[in-house]
Amino acid sequence: MLRIWGRTTSSNVQKLLWFCDEAGIAFERIDAGLSFGVTRTPAYLAMNPNALVPTIDDEGFILWESNAILRYLARKHRQLEWYPEDLKTRATIEQWMDWGSTALAASITPVVWGLFRTPPEQQQPEALRASAEKATHLVRLLDAHLRERDWMVGDRITLADIPVAIQTYRWLVMPWERIGYNRPDLPHAQAWFERLARRPAVQRVVMIGVS
């Protein structure tokens, strides 16, 4: 059976848990990362020398990098409606997967660390507000993209929605008032997330708060 290492609070682990839930892919999950440790043990480092989560072991095949794992699982389980074979559709899906996991995540992750994983006396609200501005700038781009479409790419949910939605959820629910930041309303991005929020997999895996 597929084994997934990683804590459920990790945005990158959530990508896999969400997709496996949607696609009905059975797996066993092993807690790892942050307070669970595990990632610096010799056995884990032999699988993933980055000491990061997630890592999978699929019947002896080891893989890390969450987006690569999503693409592998979609192909292996012939979930091609999530990852269509058409060259340009697939490239556009990958574009948004990368954007969600690099640009967007790079502006949100410092706020998660700053607010939830840093002692109050060491928090730097000004730096966190700068990250908040960057994140909002990017969600504005997303909002414009979603003005005339229901999903990130094409006319149904695909792998493109997963990394972007996980970061957008964080942007939506972050306790911004703690750093004196006023998050604007961005109606198209919010309506898209509300569509996603009707999916049981999103409720189970993503909408669990931020910690």
Ligand X SMILES: N[C@@H](CCC(=O)N[C@@H](CS)C(=O)NCC(=O)O)C(=O)O
Contacts to ligand X by CB under 6 A? 10-12, 33-34, 39, 52-54, 65-67, 101
Nearer to ligand X, 33 or 110 (CB): 33
**What b/e sequence results for 29-62 when a residue is b if at least 16 CB atoms lie within 10 Å of its CB, and e otherwise?**
beebbeeeebbeeeebeebbeeebbbbbbbeeee
Chain residue whose CB lies nearest ligand X: 33
Nearest 5°: CA angle at 148, between 191 and 185? 35
Nearer to ligand X, 79 or 101 (CB): 101
Shortest CB 182 distance to ligand X, Å:
27
Shortest CB 184 distance to ligand X, Å:
26
Shortest CB 117 distance to ligand X, Å:
10
- Rg of the chain over all Cα atoms, to the nearest angstrom: 17
Strand order in the sheet with 27-30: 27-30, 2-5, 55-58, 61-64
Nearer to ligand X, 32 or 146 (CB): 32
Nearer to ligand X, 66 or 168 (CB): 66
